Structure 1
């Protein structure tokens, strides 16, 4: 007897995550029933089930909304803010929100994802380009910071907010590398210097950081759109301008001849978590530098010195591609649920405050783009990594910005901005307090 009439494996038609709409609807129903009955399994099983379903649905919506898909980052931005809205307005039960938040924070899924991206993207890069780009990257960061703080100070003076206040309480926190590595230590530095309660300082900085992160994500989508309109401004995911594209293409083709197989994915997974463990180990002895930064340095040195055989570099790159392809939606849902306080962003929406935050982001884009061009980078890629990834909320913001701009392979440079650039901002903040106060 033929079973074609009851098969769910349709050969054509509308599909979500590669599945027929009928099968995806059944899966979604099962997951949502378990969620609202509060029997969704705790830990990674329940988290993966719910976050994959939510991510897929919001991604479909964002990929089809006319203005959003063309100008605001499409699926990724809808996943983040849609997921945040589900929690903020109580649409999802607290039980499920706790499972997802714990999966991101307590069980370390964010670290797991970033480990795969850093290891795979660096080991998968062209070695010569990596060396050239690393040397020129810091000037692009400094260019973004200088123009950003200068512009927000100027506009703050013009609109009556105050230049000093705009720089110290809006510009510096936004460019400071996120919340844990940026706003929190900055509030301690400010509190000590001003003789104020760090908690009061932090309450001023948090809306700037949250709103700045949201605008940075939107700006990333707009820059991606600009690259499609002005292709001469972008490397389509390549940071360094390539003089001889034919030679580079030949070299890349030679590097990517290792075929995908399941054993390779296992090797890539092991390499990613090992490099991450190495970073945390070194960070134990030298805590002034974030463990992500030590991981980046370790992977970059291994790549630059050509220590690993090509087979293992390819394995790490394949694992990175697998994680990015299948788990980015999960991570973006986690960012929305665990790291995006929608109410804080809404509360900060005064015209004056919004103008100053937006000006800070625009300054970061312009400064890093111009300096990046001068040192041999594509302006859009430089603006995204050295500019927007300084202005977002650290690791979670990096993923959101790179996803919205469809440039996830630039994660290593984004992390340099968030970690090393964030440490630079703490030093700069101390210096600025001595100058202004």
Structure 2
């Protein structure tokens, strides 16, 4: 909990008629204490209301009720994780928000009506794409153009180097553990770097099943737990990198991928953007709807050529930035939307995802010693390569390591989890490159390889 309350030095000298004001100030001091973003009295009221509706077994699926539930659940888990020693320095808030609800659901420790409504809400709204839209559009539009151009060109180098190194090390470690070199690569390392479930594990299992004449469901069941565990290792790695950045300020740009030159701004728009201090609500709303329009355009591109909408959106917003198509005030509006979503929506999103889409048993099934060692070696190699190659390229090594770690993430959801643990949500555009594009390349090459070599 956080508080900004300040004691009133004149309270003792006030007359009796001021008692009401004194009581009011005490309540105000309580309102300054927060669980996440929720004032403590409001938090207590919401917990009591949710408990009452749960006891009655009548939890509404109305959007306002759902927001109350996932906000309370998300920030409660985050607060618990923040207060656990050791865990709090490796991303405890995000780890607790991801895995505690999943555990509670699996052991039926959450009310069934609550779980049902949260699951329905999460799947029907699919609001993770709204979150990604706000973060990607806001972070890119508020980014220096030179940093954007250089970052997108450079980031492929540590990603490629990390992928090659992870394949070699993961295969070798798997061979030492008795899995076999090529089997380790195709059935452990590749699933971890495939880009999540929907755009990684599922197409990979389909390709493997068709190439080998196997049942797709069985193949998916074998590789899916590995994807979840790889994401967990990446979260822990990036939580540790966050702690390293607090001790070694020279290694991090605090969300910026590489240093900005000391020269003059490259155009009038950049200078104007830096001078924007006050914006109105309408401009913030305009920045938000601009991001939504870009994402909807991306869905059209997906329907035409099959390019995933988040990837299409990424390319579109980069184009908008490079062409200077929006004024500095609108860029600032998009940045405010981005900051709002990072501050207010991240933990509720993780909570709803954990309840609805993170099966506990899938994670537990991955805990085979040989798999564990191979996955840990893979993710550590991917991350460490990003760190050292980024340093060689004069990028911030902690940021490049975090982007590389996102290559082993659970798709868009995994990027949110990893960047939350790292407290580097500004890296979302580059994380999407690692997850979506890196994952697509990995899956394509793996399917070609298994069709050619027929490795069971």
TM-score by length of 2: 0.89
User: Is this contact kept in 1: 2:233–2:376, CA < 8 A?
Assistant: yes
Larger radius of gyration: 2
The count of corresponding residues between Structure 1 and Structure 2 is 433
- Shift in Å at residue 373 of structure 1? 2.9
Partner of 1:56: 75
State the SS of the aligned residue for 2:27: coil
**Structure 1: distance between partners of 2:36 and 2:280:** 21
Partner of 1:423: 440
**Structure 2: distance between partners of 1:277 and 1:43:** 25
- Shift in Å at residue 436 of structure 1? 4.2
- Shift in Å at residue 235 of structure 1? 1.4
Partner of 1:117: 135
**Structure 1: distance between partners of 2:56 and 2:109:** 14
Q: Does 1:132 align with 2:150?
A: yes
**Structure 2: distance between partners of 1:151 and 1:43:** 49
Any idea what the Cα deviations from partners look like across 1:6-51, whole Å, max 9, x if unmatched?
A: 6473226743245543342122111222234232220422221111
**Structure 2: distance between partners of 1:133 and 1:435:** 36
Q: Does 1:69 align with 2:76?
A: no
- Shift in Å at residue 183 of structure 1? 0.6
Partner of 2:405: 388
Question: Does 14-23 or 101-110 show the bigger shift?
Answer: 14-23
Q: Does 1:192 align with 2:207?
A: no
- Shift in Å at residue 383 of structure 1? 1.4
Q: Does 1:432 align with 2:449?
A: yes
Question: Does 20-29 or 406-415 show the bigger shift?
Answer: 20-29
User: Is this contact kept in 2: 1:189–1:430, CA < 8 A?
Assistant: yes
User: Is this contact kept in 2: 1:227–1:234, CA < 8 A?
Assistant: yes
**Structure 1: distance between partners of 2:161 and 2:448:** 17
User: Is this contact kept in 1: 2:276–2:329, CA < 8 A?
Assistant: no
**Structure 2: distance between partners of 1:363 and 1:434:** 27
Cα root mean square deviation, aligned: 2.2
User: Is this contact kept in 2: 1:268–1:312, CA < 8 A?
Assistant: yes
**Structure 1: distance between partners of 2:314 and 2:34:** 37
- CA 1:390–1:28: 2 relative to 1, 3 Å: same
Partner of 1:165: 183
Q: Does 1:337 align with 2:379?
A: no
Partner of 1:364: 382
- CA 1:101–1:376: 2 relative to 1, 3 Å: farther
**Structure 2: distance between partners of 1:25 and 1:252:** 46
Q: Does 1:277 align with 2:292?
A: no
**Structure 2: distance between partners of 1:246 and 1:21:** 46
- Unaligned residue ranges in structure 2 (runs of 5+): 1-16
Partner of 1:9: 27
Any idea what the Cα deviations from partners look like across 1:303-358, whole Å, max 9, x if unmatched?
A: 01111111111111111111211111211112211222222212221222211111
State the SS of the aligned residue for 1:308: coil
- CA 1:188–1:18: 2 relative to 1, 3 Å: closer
Q: Does 1:290 align with 2:308?
A: yes
Partner of 1:25: 44
User: Is this contact kept in 1: 2:82–2:93, CA < 8 A?
Assistant: yes
Partner of 2:223: 205
User: Is this contact kept in 2: 1:126–1:252, CA < 8 A?
Assistant: no
User: Is this contact kept in 1: 2:166–2:379, CA < 8 A?
Assistant: yes
- Shift in Å at residue 415 of structure 1? 1.1
**Structure 1: distance between partners of 2:125 and 2:187:** 33
Pairing of 1:296-335 with structure 2 (within 5 A):
296-335=314-353
Question: Does 205-214 or 170-179 show the bigger shift?
Answer: 205-214
- CA 1:18–1:357: 2 relative to 1, 3 Å: closer
State the SS of the aligned residue for 2:254: coil
**Structure 1: distance between partners of 2:34 and 2:444:** 50
Q: Does 1:174 align with 2:192?
A: yes
- Shift in Å at residue 176 of structure 1? 0.3
- Shift in Å at residue 247 of structure 1? 7.4
**Structure 2: distance between partners of 1:246 and 1:90:** 59
**Structure 1: distance between partners of 2:50 and 2:216:** 43
- Shift in Å at residue 160 of structure 1? 1.3
Question: Does 199-208 or 346-355 show the bigger shift?
Answer: 346-355
User: Is this contact kept in 2: 1:256–1:314, CA < 8 A?
Assistant: no
2:168 is matched with which residue: 150, 155, 164?
Answer: 150
Partner of 2:424: 407
